[in-house]
Amino acid sequence: MSTNGVTPNIFNIKIIVAIGSALLAFAAFTISYDAMSKLAKFYSIEPAGIFPLIIDGVLLLALIWRMTDINTFYAQLTMFSYIMISMVLNYYANPSISGGLIAMLAPFSLFVTSEICASIYLNKSTTIINKPKKSPLRNERGQFISTKQ
């Protein structure tokens, strides 16, 4: 509960976080796509525009797989493996070391934001407000009930 006695609507907060995560994931995908397509052009891989979709497309499929809540370990392992591949390719797509390190952040951000979206979709995210649960020793407000007579 907040200090003014009004509890924020967790559903609205989750929607805002999900939309923000989706927008950041799209931005990260765009940066990663650009870097990998430049790398494909440099090494004469044609069509260069499809090459990044092979790597990042698997990430999208793994995210959908993760959201089914079936074998999430293997879905996360697949996502992590392809994120690592994407990070390495993004690094080598830039001529400078610092540029490569910065470019590696895009796939990592894609992984983090997709995990946020999956957690919200599966309703496994931690809530902002930890509301005490009613139990035999607590009342509706979460206060301990005295058992002494």
* Sequence-ordered list of residues with C-beta below 8 angstroms from that of 10, at least 6 positions apart, any chain: 127, 128, 129
pLDDT band at 5; cut points 50, 70, 90: low
Q: Which amino acid is at 99?
A: G
More confident position, 137 or 133: 137
Cβ–Cβ under 8 Å, residues 48 and 40: yes
pLDDT band at 37; cut points 50, 70, 90: very high
More confident position, 126 or 57: 57
Alpha-carbon dihedral sign for residues 93, 95, 100, 106: negative
Please state, in angstroms and rounded to a whole number, the distance separating the CA atoms of residues 32 and 103.
7
Average predicted confidence (pLDDT) for the chain = 81
